[in-house]
Amino acid sequence: MKNNIILIGFMGVGKGTLARALAKKSSKFAIDTDDLIESLENRKIKKIFALEGEKYFRALEQKTANWIEDSVNNTIISVGGGFFKVDNLKKLGKVIYLESSFDGILNRILSSENAEKKLKKRPLFQVPADAKKLYNERITIYKNIADITINVENKKTESIIKNIMKLA
Ligand code: S3P
């Protein structure tokens, strides 16, 4: 079993923010699968979805998962909201699901300084009603696949990190 921590959860729940805070606290590196994919393709996720479609993007997620399995250890890894679909997730490290209600996630995005940017860059979060449907389809899957579930709604980064470090 690898010594990575994998943060999964719905779009906008704060995976990247928490990964970086956790990395700082534990003197490890944090990486993000969307960032890795953008560097691999030298273009934004939004563009990849628009020009190549979701299936192509999912194949890039699998390629990223394979690279992590082969080459990454001792790292905090935040992943895209649909990354749980890769076939080797459980081999990549300890999987932590960051749980929040859909309204909690929407509020988190809308109350952030760059809310518009945060929504724009996410092709599957363009219509809130569609995103909510996707959320409802996925929540049980996230929970079932995770080693640990941590509720993050209305919690401060510092207290979530403490919780993760205690449980992971
Ligand atoms: C997706 C989530 C996004 C990104 C892509 C697809 C999804 O990542 O990977 O837009 O299927 O939930 P975030 O969870 O970081 O927004």
Q: How confident is the model at residue 78 (pLDDT cuts 50, 70, 90)?
A: very high
Do residues 160 and 152 touch, judged by C-beta distance below 8 A?
Answer: yes
**Could you tell me the CA-to-CA distances from 112 to 14, 21, 52, 97, 109 in Å, in that order?**
11, 17, 30, 22, 5
Calculate how far, in angstroms, residue 122's C-alpha sits from the geometric centre of ligand 1. 6
pLDDT digits (tens, 9 = 90+) for 18-60: 999 999 999 999 999 999 999 999 999 999 999 999 999 999 9
Contacts of 104 (CB under 8 A, 6+ apart): 153, 154
pLDDT digits (tens, 9 = 90+) for 137-157: 999 999 999 999 999 999 999
Do residues 152 and 14 touch, judged by C-beta distance below 8 A?
Answer: yes
E runs forming strands in the chain:
5-8, 30-32, 76-78, 94-99, 148-151
The CA distance from 128 to 119, in Å, is: 10
pTM of the model: 0.97
The pLDDT, as a whole number, for residue 45 is: 97
Instruction: Select from 6, 7, 10, 11 the residue to mutate for testing ligand 1; criterion: most ligand atoms less than 8 Å from CB.
Output: 11
Do residues 6 and 74 touch, judged by C-beta distance below 8 A?
Answer: no
**Nearest ligand 1 atom, CA 33:** 9
The CA distance from 47 to 38, in Å, is: 10
The pLDDT, as a whole number, for residue 149 is: 97
The pLDDT, as a whole number, for residue 1 is: 72
pLDDT for residue 168 is more than 90: no
Quote the mean pLDDT of the chain.
97
Tokens of 117: 């940017």
Cβ of 18 less than 6 Å from ligand 1: no
Percent of the chain with pLDDT over 90: 98
pLDDT digits (tens, 9 = 90+) for 108-127: 999 999 999 999 999 999 99
Q: How confident is the model at residue 106 (pLDDT cuts 50, 70, 90)?
A: very high
